Chain A
Amino acid sequence: MAGLEDLYREIILDHYRSPRNRGELPVPPAVMAEGHNPLCGDEITVYLDVDGGPDDGVVRDVKVAGQGCSISQSSASMMSQAVIGKTVPEVRALVRRFKGLMSIEDADGAGDGDAAAVPGATGDDPHPLGDLEALQGVVKFPVRIKCATLAWNTLVQALDQEAPASGG
């Protein structure tokens, strides 16, 4: 049986109590995307500032605003920490990895082998997702998967504005 301790790991509660990178960024130069969880009404806004183009741009800063439950808020906080400093392709690969962790197959990402190309996330790293792996327990509570992925889906919307996926 999945216990609450699988869901509410200490590191999740820490990000929930003290969320990182809360706030807003001026738009432009940043882009902004809003995400909704239609089931519960949670709303999240992701501000993304990328330095450079879609292929080699680097995430200079990310800020997160909005309200949500402990899972959506902590996931957003961890997401913001994880993507700052990464290139756009690295971020997209990380999103796919995270969705994999949530047992979600990303249809359009399937088979392009991108996930394996995340620097520092090759086969020899047993914890390629770092803190984010604390969210793995969410999979045992399927209703909450949408909470965990809200910030990530919103990040992808922002990325698509900043640097439309090349499609190839």
Chain B
Amino acid sequence: MDSDSSNIRLFNVSKRYGAKYALKDVSLDIKKGEFVALMGESGCGKTTLLNIIGCLHPLTDGEYFLDGENIGEVRDDYTLAFIRNKMMGFIFQQFNLFSRLTALKNVALPALYAGTEKGIREEKATSLMKSVNIEDRASHKPTELSGGQQQRVSICRSLINNPDIILADEPTGALDSKSGIEIMEIFIDLKKKNKTIIMVTHTAEVAKYADRIIFMRDGKAVNNNYKLTSNY
């Protein structure tokens, strides 16, 4: 494999909880700018895999290369936090916004952690919110926003430090199909901007937007290169 063009490369990665393997010998190679969907039945290890890629979890076995760098052994909080902050953006099914902060402050929070000056980070946050048409909701708290709007806020948050990789765990899972489609259209835009997107989903409707689908079963990647015919 050519690791130079690989954004993310896993080699025989396993994750064990006690005696039980949540992931077993998963190998995959995701190129920069690829949009990949992760599918499989509940409990097969999709979230676990996403968390490993997102450096939220240490892996039990195997190797993890990020931009050619072996980071599977890294345990240092400062480095891991830096990777999560600058190189990845997380999007969750339940949005996971801070209820006490306004939409704008939620979007700007990762930049606060990165040490970006207040003026700059809020300007960036505003322009991101403009790009997904929610700038008029900037001073509202998450509870005052619709599900679709909250998910767009969380997408903006994932983009504020301009990471290469977007990790989305069932981003449309809590939305109606119309809002879901709007989110997917944003993802297509992001792909055009050369972001690598890894998205967990249960629905073919959503998965068809991806370049390819990785199917998982019982902690294993059983098909790495499935393609649904897309209609976009």
Say whether A associates with B: no
Binding site for A on B (CB under 8 A): none
